[in-house]
Amino acid sequence: MNKRFYITTAIDYVNGEPHLGHAYEKVIADVIARARRSLGEEVFFLTGLDEHGQKVQQAALERGKAPQEYCDGLATLWKSFAVKLNLSNDDFIRTSEPRHKEAVQAILNKLRREGHFYKAQHKGFYSTRQETFLTDKDRLPDGSFDPIYGEVTELVEDDYYFKLKPHQQWLIDYIEANSDFVAPTYRRNEVLGFLKNNVLEDLCITRPAARLSWGISVPFDPSFVTYVWFDALLNYITVPAAWADPATAPILSSSAPSPKRALQLWPADVHLVGKDIIKFHAVYWPILLKALGLPVPKQILVHGWWQKDGEKIAKSTGNIVDPQAVINEWGLDAFRYYVVRELDIGPDGNWTDSGFQSRYDDDLAKGLGNLISRSLTMLKKYRNGIVPKRSDDWASATDKAVSEIEKCLRSYELKSALENVWGLMKRSDQYIEKTAPFKLAKDPSQAALLDEVLYNLAETCRILAILLWPFIPATSGRIYAQLGLPGQPDQFRSAKWGGLAPGHAIGEVGPLFPRKDQTAR
Ligand code: MSP
């Protein structure tokens, strides 16, 4: 059994509809997962929903529904959104599922047995919106709490605490010694700065069941439920446990029936998360794992946040991008392309409708679509769609570009990978301008040169389909079909020059990205 490349996304709060931020994160995780599979690795891609907590309880109550029923309804919607995004996830976790709850309870029991918890009275300010207690450090200069916390109420209650302090120095040392643990580097520095300048407060890991019933019951004290973040972070390990990952055996001695097929997943290779939840992932999570005696994930990869027209995306102000509407109007692959091409994993991005439209028109319709259509239409017209004699003069330059793209994919530089792919396209466009195949076709003495041009172009189309597979898989599949090739272009190793066999008959050629009539919009 081989260890799989294990990639996770944040699990989304199950309230409302998926927005651009959710869609973005899931798409980049999918691109990474598909790229790794294409590069020959076995992959396990996990996404899902974070269902417990006060907000969900309240929302269900307002609708006169039981929380489970409320979540079931929304989960159907979110799962169908994952399908709409063409995510290749291998599992979808809902934190209200028994497999998760049982494993969380086993973990709570183990940590308690081993002395990681204590009970104490807590007095403090609680933000329901963020499901967290706030401290004076969270106050604005005028003494109030930032509106991002929503309504803040003062509470006095007993709770269980998880000891973080004893692990603080270990974590600092670990992050210092493992420069890739948090990426990009400026996020790593932020975490180190936080750890070096603050004494960690122990983490409150319960809520009284009287106040919050919609949560996982604490097995050794049912008057409490688990704090929703504690429950949520554990999804990354309860899923491997449900797949009988041997690495999880020490924590789940009594747990769950083994599935037929055991998978080796832990430690995760990448936890992809947004910048707002870095502390949970880069501070609490590794400490929790250490307490459990488990290895920490290889990397916390932190992405930035999208704005729209330079302003925060917020339902309340109506400044939103509805990914479903964009996909319905422009097609999924246009959406996937735009969010990856526009933004590196790290900095914040800014969505503008005009920017989206220019990328669609210039990069996809006039760029990719036009190149494929011109190349294959000429092959149809001048050679009856039959691939001519192999030409190798583009082989070494193309192979070099392909290995550069492989490097980008492996290091999650997805935007650069796309820029390099478009570099290959530009070369083909310039080549068509320079060699003018439509003129060559009129001169029988140029037949050999025309063969060469047509081969170079068609072979480039084949390679483009493979390179684009992780990003825009449906379009890549259509390019492959137009080339008359069977299966999907999902094997990176086939992106080597010379795969298109002379004598092969290509398929039907059709538009990939229809130009939008601007005036009709
Ligand atoms: N439920 C928690 C995560 C638990 S993970 C163990 C949560 N959920 S969330 O629905 O609020 O956010 C899910 C992800 O979407 C987070 O990684 C968050 O950073 C990301 N985004 C939310 N809004 C975003 C943007 N405007 N732009 C990009 N990503 C954003 O936090």
Q: What is the pLDDT of residues 492-506, one digit of tens each?
A: 999 999 999 999 999
- Give the mean pLDDT of the chain: 95
Measured distance CA(340)–CA(405) in Å, rounded: 14
CA of 29 to the centre of ligand 1 (A): 13
Residue 517 has a pLDDT of 60
13 in contact with ligand 1, CB cutoff 6 A: yes
What pTM was estimated for this model as a whole?
A: 0.94
Residue 131, pLDDT score: 75
Beta carbon of 320 within 6 Å of any ligand 1 atom: no
Q: In this predicted structure, what is the pLDDT of residue 316?
A: 84
Q: What is the pLDDT of residues 39-87, one digit of tens each?
A: 999 999 999 999 999 889 999 999 999 999 999 999 999 999 999 999 9
User: Could you tell me if the CB of 274 is within 6 A of ligand 1?
Assistant: yes
pLDDT at 138: 87
Neighbours of 243 (CB within 10 A): 23
Q: How many CB atoms lie within 10 A of CB 315?
A: 10
Can you give the pLDDT at residue 260?
A: 64
398 pLDDT above the threshold of 80:
yes
> What distance in angstroms lies between residue 160's CA and the mean position of ligand 1's atoms?
26
| 342 in contact with ligand 1, CB cutoff 6 A | no
Residue 521 pLDDT grade (very low, low, confident, very high; cuts 50, 70, 90):
very low
| % of the chain residues with pLDDT over 90 | 87
Share of the chain above pLDDT 70, in %: 97
Whether the per-residue pLDDT at 114 is higher than 50: the answer is yes
Residue identifier of the C-alpha nearest atom 29 of ligand 1: 21
How many whole angstroms separate alpha carbon 57 and alpha carbon 430? 59
- Compute the distance from residue 102 Cα to the ligand 1 centre, in Å: 25
Contact criterion met (CB below 8 Å) for 258 and 275: no
pLDDT of residue 258: 58
Q: Is the CB of 78 under 6 A from ligand 1?
A: no
Instruction: Answer yes or no: is the C-beta of 10 below 6 A from any ligand 1 atom.
Output: yes
Q: Which atom of ligand 1 is nearest to the CA of 13?
A: 10
Distance 92 CA to ligand 1 centre (A): 16
pLDDT of residue 520: 44
Q: Is residue 17 predicted with pLDDT exceeding 50? A: yes
Cis check for the bond before 184: say yes or no (omega within 30 of 0). yes
Report how far residue 490's alpha carbon sits from residue 38's, in angstroms, rounded to the nearest whole number. 5
Q: Is the pLDDT of residue 129 over 50?
A: yes
DSSP line for 75-133 = HHHHHHHHHHTT---SEEEETTSHHHHHHHHHHHHHHHHTT-EEEEEEEEEEETTTTEE
Q: Is 12 in the pocket of ligand 1 (CB under 6 A)?
A: yes
Q: Which tens digit of pLDDT belongs to each residue from 438-490?
A: 999 999 999 999 999 999 999 999 999 999 999 999 999 999 999 999 999 99
Centre of ligand 1 to C-alpha 25, Å, is 8
Q: What are phi and psi of 350, to 5 degrees?
A: -130, 115
pLDDT score of 256: 54
**399, pLDDT greater than 60:** yes
pLDDT in tens, 213-249: 999 999 999 999 999 899 999 999 999 999 999 999 8
Choice between 147 and 268, residue whose per-residue pLDDT is larger: 268
Ligand 1 centre distance from Cα of residue 275 (Å)? 8
Mean pLDDT over residues 153-171, rounded?
94
Closest residue by Cα to atom 5, ligand 1, is 10
Q: Separation of 58 CA from ligand 1 center, angstroms? A: 20
Name the 3-class secondary structure at 230: helix
Name the phi and psi angles at 145, rounded to 5: -95, 145
Residue that has been written with the tokens 């106050």 in this structure: 139
Helices (H) and strands (E) in the chain, counts: 19, 16
Is pLDDT above 80 for 181?
yes
**CA of residue 2 to ligand 1 center, whole Å:** 31
Percentages helix, strand, coil for the chain (3-state, rounded to 5) are 50, 15, 35
In this predicted structure, what is the pLDDT of residue 257? 56
Residue 253's pLDDT band, with cuts at 50, 70 and 90, is: low
| C-beta 273 within 6 A of ligand 1 | yes
